[in-house]
Chain A
Amino acid sequence: MKYTRRQVFQRLAAAAAASATSRGAYPATIYSMPGLYPGRVIGVKHADSSIAGTYQTLPIQTMMQRGMMELTGAPNHGMAWSKLFSRNDVVGIKVNPNGISSIVSSKAAIDGITQGLLLAGVAPGNIVICDRNRVQLNGIASLLPKWVRQAAASWDWSDDQTEIAGYNPNHEPGVSGYNPRYYVDCPGYLLPWQSPSNPSHTRSYVANFVTQVTKIISLSVLKDHQTAGVTLGLKNLCQGCMNNVNRAHPATNTNYLQWYVPTVVSQPIIRNKVVLSIIDGIHGLWNAGPHGLQDFVWDHHTMYFGTDVVAADRIAWKAIDAQRLLAGLPSEESSGADPYDAWTIRQPQHITQAGLMGLGKFRDEDIGYRLVTLA
């Protein structure tokens, strides 16, 4: 049997994933991935959620409330949040503030989450908005309630992401670094300058903010990604909660994300804390992700809700592919480099792989998707 170069590469990358090890225990709960409602995904569509590219608060509030009620089966908004959260929780909201302003979610969506948590009895001081990089959080400061705590692991993106304390060259405040007790060791995935004998190169450490909360909500955005294919809940949790992640796509023709993303997310401290995934698809980005160009943003007017991160990602992935096909582009899985995206291999299959690793449902026949249209 003769293998193509790509097939050989894929097998080597898969073998590297199989050799990955993790450190740091965290017990599973009934809320752990895939959560209380495996395979259940709710889409809520409201045509007035964005008008002329501007988010509309009232429709989005309604979408947030209805989405949570449909997901949990609760008769009202407050009870819906109480199904997943209680007064003793410290809750991290992992946002994805990477890219142009139309694709970083909305104040109404973030307010909807924090208000839901308050209704469930979570104290204001026990709600934390999180992202890996402080600069990106600062970029969405106007969207965040001023009273809410914020946590970031590093100051900004850098080529060398291996510092445990978090890359922070000017010692700026608001950077809390990574936790040496929790990491995934993937010696098979390295940047050219990294050494397989250097633990700080072979490991990706978990952000301190992950260790400091009891539950995590992923608030991602419906976006194309030039290496991951799509950047949704799984990608948000992987690249947004660990250090040393750029080694997962070390060159434009080398990509390990299909295995790296599910390997990272399957770490007990992540998979067992993530209880809810919300994908903001009011605006979607169908090409040139993750940073985006306005030309590739479309009004999708839909938000997705699931405790099953994998299933929600699968539904949202199909929405992006559908938009790409409308524009005459190939699907993410079969797409390569183009004038806006440099990588020759995209791997939305990280969603499939996550399902195969037991993180959630990935086959369409196992997913119960329901779209609720409000207007």
Chain B
Amino acid sequence: MRGYVIVMAVLLPAWATAGTVYYSITDLGALAGGTMTSASAISTNGLAAGSGDANSTISQPFLRSGSGILPVSPVSSPLAFGTGVNSAGSVVGYEFSVDFSTFRAFLNDASAKYLPLLAGGTNNAATGINDLGTVVGYSATGSASEMAFVYSGGVARQLGTLPGGTTSRANAVDNYGNIVGCSDTGSDAALHAFLHSGGIWTDLGVRSGYQWSEATAVSSNQVAGTLNDPFGGTTAFLWTAASGMTALGALVPGGNSQAFGVNAAGDVVGSSDGAAFLFHDAQMIDLATRVLSSRGWQLSEAVAINNLGQIAGTGTHNGQAHAFLLSPTALHRSRPRQRKSER
């Protein structure tokens, strides 16, 4: 038991075992010549990626590391979006051709390159990358407008669909190679959230009262996503193999929510009726109430959270849409428990 406690203490960040967590906020600013940025992803070591306008570009991917926010070159386009980043600083996304007729997945790991299309397709988009360099996304094929793909070792291969399905989209991959997204099925026309793990497809289903579901994030078999009802309403969910799908509710009664990120502790981030939320300890928290100094900020969405508890998101700061990074602070932490040996 003692060994177990020590292992847990090593694996979990200090804030996770403490009381109420507060965050310091970092404005990721704008690219040179631009005014706005939005975040899409955060890596295990706190690198953030997203997109923003810049000199002579409508939208350009960015990477935020310790040295600040830097533009990431797509292959050739003035309209490109960064969607994923790993701990090595490799950024993936998609970019539109100059004539706006096609879009292509790109990977920038020191140099920018297009990812191969699936056979018969003319468009593809990358949506996530893990620390091993595995990229996921979706591509058109000769018969499907969207088909999930996984790219590794220079090869893109079709991931497939849930049984009976014809179309799928992969949204995220974790460091264990678990892939999540959505797929149609043979049983109905609606999209179902899926987990693809170890070559096995798991249909995460659609809860009663909802029409379709989509998984958007995965971390160590914790899956987050969104349930969509027939009336445009949305509810964030957390899925685990042990508990199945749990609807997370909303910040206001009867409101809507969407989940965009999850970490290994099962903390989920997203947006609820225009406000960024964190779901932690079975409670949905308005992140604006947990920022040490939020003056001038409106936090509209949190899009990713890593195992260090760092959160990337987008809000408005003094009227400008800017990406932000939230870092858990030691302040307001409850008094640490004494170890047995110290008592």
Contact = CB atoms under 8 A, between A and B. Distances in A.
Interface string B111-136: 00000000000110100000000000
Interface string B257-280: 010100000000001000000000
B226 interface: yes
Contacts of B36: 76, 78-79
A145 B258 CA distance: 28
A121 interface: yes
Given A26-B232, A27-B231, A27-B233, A78 B146 contact: no
B232 A27 contact: yes
Contact of B38 (A27, A88, A121, A123): A121
Interface of chain B, main secondary structure: strand
Contact of B35 (A26, A75, A145, A273): A75
A118 B79 contact: yes
A10 interface: no
Contacts of A78: 36, 38, 53, 59, 321
Nearest to A89: B232
A181 to B, nearest CB: 9
A87 B49 CA distance: 16
B9 interface: no
Nearest to B138: A125
A79 B37 CA distance: 10
Contact of B231 (A25, A75, A76, A88): A25
A323 interface: no
A119 B59 contact: yes
A145 B79 CA distance: 14
Contact of B234 (A88, A111, A114, A115): A88
Interface string B229-257: 01111100000000000000000000000
B100 interface: yes
Interface residues of B, number: 36
A114 B79 CA distance: 12
Interface of chain A, main secondary structure: loop
Contacts of B271: 86, 88
Nearest to B80: A118
A82 interface: yes
A35 to B, nearest CB: 15
Nearest to A114: B100
A125 B169 contact: yes
Interface in B199-247: 226, 230-234
27 contacts: A25-B231, A26-B232, A27-B231, A27-B232, A29-B232, A75-B319, A76-B320, A78-B36, A78-B59, A82-B321, A86-B301, A87-B258, A87-B260, A111-B100, A114-B100, A118-B59, A118-B79, A118-B81, A121-B38, A123-B125, A124-B94, A124-B123, A125-B145, A146-B101, A147-B103, A147-B122, A273-B232
The 5 closest A-B pairs by CB, nearest first: A79-B321, A88-B258, A147-B123, A146-B101, A214-B232
Given A88-B234, A114-B100, A124-B103, 13 more contacts: A26-B231, A76-B35, A78-B59, A78-B321, A79-B316, A79-B320, A111-B100, A118-B96, A124-B125, A125-B169, A147-B101, A147-B103, A214-B232
Interface of B: 35-36, 38, 53, 58-59, 79, 81, 94, 96, 100-103, 122-123, 125, 138, 140, 145-146, 169, 226, 230-234, 258, 260, 271, 301, 316, 319-321
Interface of A: 25-27, 29, 75-79, 82, 86-88, 111, 114-115, 118-119, 121, 123-125, 145-147, 149, 211, 214, 272-273
